[in-house]
Structure 1
Amino acid sequence: MDTSSIHPLDRAAKNFGSAQGLATELGVSKGALHQWKLDGRGTPAKHCPKIERLTGVRCEELCPDVEWWVLRRSIAGDGGQLDLLP
């Protein structure tokens, strides 16, 4: 199955177990996850590191406008894990 056409948030929800479960873990509504998928919205950067930790879906896919490589490089001694943000 080609996962390249599946929205990163849909993959994250599937990896986590459900969209509702992921939303609850993030402290947002399931509707918020849906809104983030709309054109021009995007996943808020503050949620990306936690989504990545929980699901394996990279921050770069969730919020491509942020230069995540800069953050990853600055914390490379920690294995590149983005735990900087809540």
Structure 2
Amino acid sequence: MIDFKKAIEIAQKYYQEKGQLELTKIYESKNIWVVYAGKKEQPRFGNAGIAIDKETGEISSFILPSRTNFEILKNAKMTELN
């Protein structure tokens, strides 16, 4: 099971490889962690987040707009990044 701490590690490694060093938001849903990166005070249009599967740790794109993904976010809990 991928917990919050492990999800952060996976996301940081993924985004560092993409040149984005700062995680901005993380949401916990039933089966996935949804993580966004960039600069906290600077919006990035078209910026897709990543979904980290809680069972396998597999990373996939989390793209909006998507009815399914909007529903996931609606029911997810935003978790504080320290």
TM-score, normalising length: structure 2: 0.30
CA radius of gyration, larger in: 1
TM-score, normalising length: structure 1: 0.29
